[in-house]
Structure 1
Amino acid sequence: MVHTDQYQGKLVLVVGLAKSGYAAARLLHMLGATVIVNDGKSIDDNPQAQELMEQGVEVICGSHPLSLLDRPLDFIIKNPGIPYSNELLVEAEKKNIPILTEIELAYQISEADIIAITGSNGKTTTTTLITEMLKNSGRTPQIAGNIGVVACEVAEQATMDDIIVMELSSFQLMGTDEFRPTISVLLNLFDAHLDYHGSKQNYVAAKARIQAKQEESDYLVYNASDDLVKDIAEKSHATKIGFSTTEVLPDGLDVVDGFVRYRSKPIIATSDIMLPGSHNIENILGAIGASILAGATLTQIQFVLKTFGGVEHRLQFVKELNGRLVYNDSKATNILATSKALEAFDKPVILLAGGLDRGNSFDSLIPSLQGVKAVITYGETKDRIAETVRKTDIPTLELVSTLTEAVKVAYRESTEGDVLLLSPACASWDQYKTFEERGHAFIQAISELPK
């Protein structure tokens, strides 16, 4: 950790605890800041707040009183999950109080170089690929960020012999100021989180912050086939490395004659890549580009691509069961993610889908349903998904209440050579607290099927 005195004596308000807020408050307190913690949960149900209070941190729980802004705050650290529409944050912006996320704090204290990855889809897969590719490279990769590991905690422990591989959401990037990764990766941009950002323009602007402070000595690895990404890259001061699955890029990463290439040099045959799905080739190209720039060996890159079967809950291969291939894509919480998953297979698919009902139609899923032989839908959205399926020629449609029931029906409707795919196209919150919990429930239900 860089031992900085820039926070000494600063008055900082940390809004929202959870893992990132707790870590930021603890770190700032250790660095000599005067920290006030404000969390919506009551103090009685908040062990993190109680622990901080025992360390001498001022804690105000149960509401977000505007009177907090009467103090001469130097800045606010905001939990990414709290929207900017929160009244306290709205008033803070009016007072021109800087609102940051702990990502900025992580950058300021990190001795290690940072590789930062963002995009609408594929962040976790790409982040994990880079981390695996950098093993045996001479520096130890440390995974952090939106993937579930608090960035400032990792930065606190990292040394110059490490390299931090950081997955970043638009929520996290929106709260950065001087953040400057050595290598940034921008995968793709689709409509997402518009309820949080208010408009697509704001969402794209948040994502663009990943490279906003980069200079020529830094690198931007970007999707040259995505127009929104290209627009950001054209304005970037970083050294640019493009990738594309549809264009030939002699100075970048591309796919030609069945080979993934870097600067026209073949890296690996696409037939040797274990990770399924054409969309994952883009993630792989981004990962290869960042990894080579960071010092990964060709041998390690090839080994990872030949053996890596996917991130847990993201098109994760579970097992072969009596001739059926079982995949867990519980992280597919929107229609676009499920479309990408369906397009990954050239075998007949039994699709299990359903979850939280947000009132939207699923008709945009229709073009991706061509290879589906049966849909088993469950949960709050089962009727809405069924409406869409009835507009296709899919021969089998079953509506059930729970995911466990859906697994039993899906297996019953399947034959050898089929793919059993959980790709819900919905959030999990009608029946499960998280998509991870849903994925584990799916795997458990699969394990209980007859062998």
Structure 2
Amino acid sequence: MKQLPFVYHKKILVLGLAKSGTVAAELLHDLGAFVTVNDSKPFEQNENAQYLLTKGLTVICGSHPEDLLDEGFNLIVKNPGIPYTNSVVAEAIKRGIPVWTEVELAYRISDAPMIGITGSNGKTTTTTLIYEMLNHASKQPLIAGNIGTVASGVAEKATADNTIVMELSSFQLMGTEQLKPKISVLMNLYEAHLDYHKDYQEYTDAKFNITKMQDENDWFVYNAEQQLVQDYADKSQAQKVPFYVSKKTANGISADDQFVYWNGEQLFERSIIALRGKHNLENVLAATAVAILSDCSLESIKFVLQTFQGVRHRTQFVLESDGRKFYNDSKATNTLATKSALEGFSEPVVWIAGGVDRGHSFDQLIPYLPNVRALVHYGETAERLQKFGEENHIPFVKRVSNLEEATRLAVEVSEKGDIILLSPACASWDQYESFEIRGDEFIKVVESLTNN
């Protein structure tokens, strides 16, 4: 781990705890900083704050005091989920105090090179594919970031022999200054998180931070079939590797109906790829490009592509029973993600949907409904989904009370050769605390039904 002389004996505020804030606070304390942590959760209910107090850090809990910044902090490291409209953050920026997220801290202390992946969709699958390819090629990768492992904690233990493969959200990227991955990936850009960002421009600019500091010694892998992504790529100083999912090209990585190509040369047949769908082809091309740039063997790349069945809760193949294949896409909390799932199947689909009504229109799903032979739905969006299914002439549309009933009915109305797909197009919070719990419930019910 690199030392950071500029934080030694400096006053640093860690704003918001959870996992990332707690790890960052303890790390900064170990680097010799005078650390104050501030979290809105009351101290009596805040195990992270209680732990940090025993380590000798200053702890302020229960609110964000208006005079907090009068302590004269040199730096703020904030939880990515805290918006820039927060009064403490806004005042810090006004005073010229740097505001980081902990991924910036991770970059600055890391002895290991980094591969950074961002985009509106596909980040987690691409990150996992890259990790698996590097791991199979014995490159000693570590995985971190928005995928669930605190980046600074991983960077603290990484050596020069490792490579950190890091999923990065727009929330995390907004709080970076010098972050400079050796290889960066921008999957795609769609409207998202506009409840956090002041507008779409701010959101996309945050994504561009993944390559903003790169130079000619670095690599930028990007989706050349989206004009906005191409516009950002034109601004990057890194060596550029475009990917194309719909045509063979002479540069970068590309695919047609039969093959995947590297700089126009045939690499492997598409038929070896276990993951389904155009959106997953984007993920495969980006990950393969990164693996090639990381000197992974073609054998390692092909092995992963032949065996990788998907990230949990993201169009995850669950099992096949009596001629039916079950897929868990609980991570699809909006219509854009469900569109990608429906687009990936040519077989008849029995679609399970529903949950929290976020007000999203379902209309962008209409082109992908011809293969949907049944829609079983539940939750807050039930009335809207019933109307949507009937208006678009899905042959069978039925409302039920919960996911277990929906899964049972989906099996009953399915036929051999069908895909039974949980892709809610809605958040989970009306009946489940998270999409992970919802997806695990689906898998449990499917296993119970098929065992019986």
Tell me the TM-score normalised to structure 2 length: 0.98
| Residues 137-286 of structure 1 mapped to structure 2, 5 A cutoff | 137-256=137-256, 258-286=258-286
**Do 1:135 and 1:296's aligned partners in 2 also have CA atoms closer than 8 Å?**
no
Question: Deviation at 1:317?
Answer: 0.2
Helix, strand or coil: the match of 1:242? Answer: strand
Helix, strand or coil: the match of 2:295? Answer: coil
CA distance in 1, matches of 2:356, 2:406: 16
Question: Deviation at 1:13?
Answer: 0.8
**Do 1:267 and 1:302's aligned partners in 2 also have CA atoms closer than 8 Å?**
no
CA distance in 2, matches of 1:18, 1:37: 11
CA distance in 1, matches of 2:359, 2:278: 30
| Residues 21-420 of structure 1 mapped to structure 2, 5 A cutoff | 21-256=21-256, 258-420=258-420
**Do 2:257 and 2:270's aligned partners in 1 also have CA atoms closer than 8 Å?**
no
Map Cα deviations across residues 66-98 of structure 1 (whole Å, 9 max, x no partner). 211112111111111111122221222222221
Quick one: which amino acid aligns to residue 28 of structure 2? L
Question: Deviation at 1:361?
Answer: 3.1
Quick one: which amino acid aligns to residue 135 of structure 1? N
Q: Which stretch shifts more, 273-282 or 337-346?
A: 273-282
Map Cα deviations across residues 155-185 of structure 1 (whole Å, 9 max, x no partner). 0011011000000000000000000000000
In structure 1, the partner of 2:428 is: 428
Aligned length in residues: 451
CA 1:360–1:19: 2 relative to 1, 3 Å: same
Question: Deviation at 1:4?
Answer: 3.1
CA distance in 1, matches of 2:241, 2:281: 16
CA distance in 2, matches of 1:33, 1:366: 55
**Do 1:135 and 1:141's aligned partners in 2 also have CA atoms closer than 8 Å?**
yes
CA distance in 1, matches of 2:121, 2:279: 9
CA distance in 1, matches of 2:195, 2:256: 40
CA 1:325–1:138: 2 relative to 1, 3 Å: closer
CA distance in 1, matches of 2:163, 2:292: 13
Helix, strand or coil: the match of 1:210? Answer: helix
Question: Deviation at 1:132?
Answer: 0.6
CA distance in 2, matches of 1:129, 1:258: 21
CA distance in 1, matches of 2:223, 2:361: 29
CA distance in 2, matches of 1:19, 1:433: 18
Quick one: which amino acid aligns to residue 266 of structure 1? Q
Map Cα deviations across residues 309-338 of structure 1 (whole Å, 9 max, x no partner). 101100000001221100000111110000
**Do 1:133 and 1:300's aligned partners in 2 also have CA atoms closer than 8 Å?**
yes
Q: Report the identity percentage.
A: 53
Question: Deviation at 1:115?
Answer: 0.2
CA distance in 2, matches of 1:138, 1:429: 40
CA 1:243–1:362: 2 relative to 1, 3 Å: same
Map Cα deviations across residues 180-234 of structure 1 (whole Å, 9 max, x no partner). 0000001100011111102110110000000010000000001110111101100
**Do 1:259 and 1:270's aligned partners in 2 also have CA atoms closer than 8 Å?**
yes
CA distance in 1, matches of 2:379, 2:438: 12
**Do 2:9 and 2:33's aligned partners in 1 also have CA atoms closer than 8 Å?**
yes
What value does the CA root-mean-square deviation take over the aligned residues? 1.1
CA distance in 2, matches of 1:331, 1:136: 27
Quick one: which amino acid aligns to residue 83 of structure 1? P
Quick one: which amino acid aligns to residue 433 of structure 1? E
Quick one: which amino acid aligns to residue 94 of structure 2? K
Tell me the TM-score normalised to structure 1 length: 0.98
Map Cα deviations across residues 415-445 of structure 1 (whole Å, 9 max, x no partner). 1111010001111111111111110011011
CA distance in 2, matches of 1:297, 1:111: 24
CA distance in 2, matches of 1:167, 1:360: 26
**Do 1:184 and 1:220's aligned partners in 2 also have CA atoms closer than 8 Å?**
yes
CA distance in 2, matches of 1:387, 1:316: 28
Helix, strand or coil: the match of 2:266? Answer: strand
CA distance in 1, matches of 2:263, 2:222: 14
**Do 2:334 and 2:360's aligned partners in 1 also have CA atoms closer than 8 Å?**
no
Q: Which runs of 5+ in 1 are unaligned?
A: none
CA distance in 2, matches of 1:317, 1:248: 29
CA distance in 2, matches of 1:115, 1:127: 9
Question: Deviation at 1:383?
Answer: 1.1
Map Cα deviations across residues 24-63 of structure 1 (whole Å, 9 max, x no partner). 0010000011111011111111111100000000111111
Question: Deviation at 1:359?
Answer: 2.9
CA distance in 1, matches of 2:49, 2:92: 22
Map Cα deviations across residues 382-433 of structure 1 (whole Å, 9 max, x no partner). 1122221121111101111211111111111111111010001111111111
